[in-house]
Homo-oligomer: A and B are copies of this chain.
């Protein structure tokens, strides 16, 4: 058992250095380790702990098994300036994405829109991490990905899993602060279901299918043999919408990359598609920020609905809470959740790497 976690907060920089040491210890090149560590800590800062430090172990293990490359750079397959096709060479996803984001942001002011398809990347984790870097440059971005080596979502009306959660992320600047979102095209996530399953709790609705294709609110159906599936957004009544979005993500990622499920790739292979937009190339950045800022202000000032459901206080703009959490984490330290803390403590002990000191 681990010690109580109350009041144990860690400086972001200390966690980044710690994660990088563990990854270097697993044989990952220093620059790549730094890139991965930064992405995982950034996920913690944004509150996406499912893609945070808990991933150090799988990253380290995959590098050690040779399933993830440990050095080198992603490969440019085609390059027309505004349109690129990149092969990730099975390097860690955050390293591939750092390269892709940097290239797209540098070119966006000249090209207007830069589109990059990525095949054979390692797992890229939390998409929001990369997009935050785009919005700081007064650019907008769209990022989607799929994992063709995995299948946990059935097409609407079917039973057998075919897709992953195929998330859609986007960010853009506004005169009232950035908008930033990143969500799956399924109703819920494997991680959330696993947590509920451990606690013996049910979902609020029939957001899953059992292995016969019957709608279910019981996360246990995901852990049977064969397992059930996550339902696409819209679920029982209008899951054709989530199914369509999932297909769209497949087309943009694996389709344009020309590598995906048809190739039955092994490992933890990710296909991704990034677009970076410079609003200056369209109606101008001033008009863009004015339009998007006006909407953001109206949303934030909106009178709360009588009903609040899972909300606690009216309208939240996507990203508002994550960015506030990030600012607080940078200031007061990161409060790791219990599972993550156990994970990294165990790993640190196994690997003989010292845990960072919590903030007093």
Question: Could you name 12 residue pairs across A and B whose Cβ atoms are closer than 8 Å?
Answer: A80-B112, A156-B311, A156-B315, A158-B315, A159-B304, A162-B299, A181-B247, A214-B305, A250-B295, A256-B279, A261-B295, A262-B290
Which residues of the partner chain B approach A172 to less than 8 Å between Cβ atoms? 251, 255
A338 on the interface (CB 8 Å rule)? no
In the bound assembly, the distance between CA atoms of A168 and B246 in angstroms comes to: 13
In the bound assembly, the distance between CA atoms of A236 and B187 in angstroms comes to: 12
Which residues of the partner chain B approach A260 to less than 8 Å between Cβ atoms? 291, 294-295
Is A282 touching B257 in the complex (CB atoms < 8 A)? yes
A318 on the interface (CB 8 Å rule)? yes
Copies in the complex: 2
Question: Nearest 4 CB-CB pairs, A to B?
Answer: A258-B283, A213-B305, A258-B287, A83-B112
Which stretch, A54-62, A98-106, A237-245, touches the partner chain B?
A: A237-245
Which residue in B158, B239, B317 is a CB contact (below 8 Å) of A299?
A: B158
Scoring A179, A187, A244, A279 by chain B CB atoms within 10 A of each residue's CB, the highest score goes to A244
In the bound assembly, the distance between CA atoms of A214 and B309 in angstroms comes to: 10
Which residues of the partner chain B approach A119 to less than 8 Å between Cβ atoms? 283
Which residue in B243, B287, B291, B307 is a CB contact (below 8 Å) of A261?
A: B291
A16 on the interface (CB 8 Å rule)? no
Which residues of the partner chain B approach A179 to less than 8 Å between Cβ atoms? 247, 251
Within the complex, what minimum Cβ distance (angstroms) separates A32 from chain B? 24
Is B209 touching A305 in the complex (CB atoms < 8 A)? yes
A268 on the interface (CB 8 Å rule)? no
Within the complex, what minimum Cβ distance (angstroms) separates A89 from chain B? 15
Is B170 touching A237 in the complex (CB atoms < 8 A)? no
Is A287 touching B259 in the complex (CB atoms < 8 A)? yes
Closest residue on chain B to residue A238 by CB atoms: B187
In the bound assembly, the distance between CA atoms of A290 and B259 in angstroms comes to: 9
List A293-307 residues whose CB lies under 8 Å from chain B: 293-295, 298-299, 302-307
A154-B282 contact, Cβ under 8 Å, with A179-B251, A233-B233, A292-B251: no
A244-B181 contact, Cβ under 8 Å, with A299-B162, A304-B159: yes
Which residue in B82, B237, B305 is a CB contact (below 8 Å) of A82?
A: B82
A310 on the interface (CB 8 Å rule)? yes
Within the complex, what minimum Cβ distance (angstroms) separates A252 from chain B? 8
